[in-house]
Amino acid sequence: MQLTTDKVKINKLDNGSIVTPRGFTSAGIHAGLRYAKKDIGVIVCEVPASSGAVYTQSHFQAAPLKVTQQSIATEQKLQAIIVNSACANACTGEQGMIDAFKMRELCAEHLGLNENHVAVCSTGVIGELLQMDKIAAGIKLLQPDQTKDAAEDFQTAILTTDIVMKKACYQIEVDGKTITFGGAAKGSGMIHPNMATMLAFITTDANIESSHLQAAISEMTDITFNQITVDGETSTNDTVLVMASGLAENDSLSPTHPEWNKFKSGLHLIFQDLAKQIARDGEGATKLVEVKVAGAKTNEDARIIAKKIVGSNLVKTAIYGTDANWGRIIGAIGHSNAVVNPETVDVSIGTITMLKASQPVSFLEEAAKDYLNQNEVLINVNLNIGEGEGTAWGCDLTYDYVKINASYRT
């Protein structure tokens, strides 16, 4: 499939994965941390890769995040990411740090790598210690490969309450060379990034220095992963981590490269794709909700309002109940921190206009109900006070969300 984004041609590879970019392999196995499903995964690069990451803004950053931060800070290079599910290794004190460093050591030893070239990520229950005997035995079973099955093994191993695997793959051309982006993510509940129990891993064979990669990651995260919400809760372990092998052999990318914006478009698209998959797979969700805000004073204001709307429990429950109650949308806009003129707001759900210049517009309730019965819902808001634009993604709020989270540990 070929996409065009701001005149940039981007190919989406439906059969691509985290191992499609040159130089990458992966694996996933069942080590017994979960009852039956795979629970330890690894991504490996054949060369030390330029790397960058963004992390949860929670005050309670989990031990593996601190280990990963130290690894990246050493040389700004990574060659492997070791991940476990079932246990977040968060709020586990000194022992948690010891265990996270041990995971790094065991992975490096098994793969014959420098310890500082290994990142560590964990996801699962907070406040429990890792079962290090199972972790150690499991790491020894990892045999990274470049096959579709190896990619799916990794994608499965990182899941917790997710219903489906989340992956994406895109290609662009830079300097006459094909650059590939592969991605895998997990996240279903505790999703309100800044960031949430969300992990996203992106591989690329682009040639780029770590400092420039980090700048692009931070910029793209703000308009993608940080614009999704499932339940307004932020986790302790959220991480978006990118590795660039450089094996595409393009001229080194930087803001002065003539095709820098093309690279950012590719990164933006794979981030957005994975972010939307996470929102769509919200715990108990039946619908993906997208909110587009235009006419704001600034882009930041537009993003604030979009996320406020998609994160409103009243909006989310109205969408689940197929109730076209635009008053819920106005309510969410009204208590945002953005600049709003209460006399100029337009609101539509799908193509159905419900509010024009802050005045109600007659519409057919049945038509609105039919639209809200779809599995994707679009809400458009125009503040009509500026040029700012922003988008956010989320999901409806259902009875099943309560069921899933009422028994999360059992």
User: Which residues are catalytically annotated?
Assistant: 197
CA 400 vs. chain centroid, Å, equals 22
Residue in the block written with tokens 């909700």: 289
Report d(CA 284, CA 162) in Å as an integer.
Answer: 10
Contacts of 327 (CB under 8 A, 6+ apart): none
Report d(CA 62, CA 250) in Å as an integer.
Answer: 36
Report d(CA 45, CA 51) in Å as an integer.
Answer: 11
C-alpha distances out from residue 128 to 61, 119, 296, 368, Å: 14, 20, 44, 46
Report d(CA 410, CA 402) in Å as an integer.
Answer: 14
Tokens encoding 240: 């978006």
Residue in the block written with tokens 């309560």: 402
Of the candidates 163, 294, 204, the one whose C-alpha atom is nearest the C-alpha of residue 22 is 204
C-alpha distances out from residue 387 to 22, 297, 298, Å: 40, 6, 7
Kindly compute the dihedral angle of the four CA atoms of residues 313, 316, 319, 324, in this order, to the nearest 10 degrees. 50
The one-letter amino acid code at 391 reads T
Report d(CA 262, CA 356) in Å as an integer.
Answer: 37
SS3 (DSSP) at 126: coil
Tokens encoding 316: 């989310």
189, containing H or E segment: none
104, containing H or E segment: helix 93-111
* Cβ atoms of 224 and 271 closer than 8 Å: yes
CA 317 vs. chain centroid, Å, equals 23
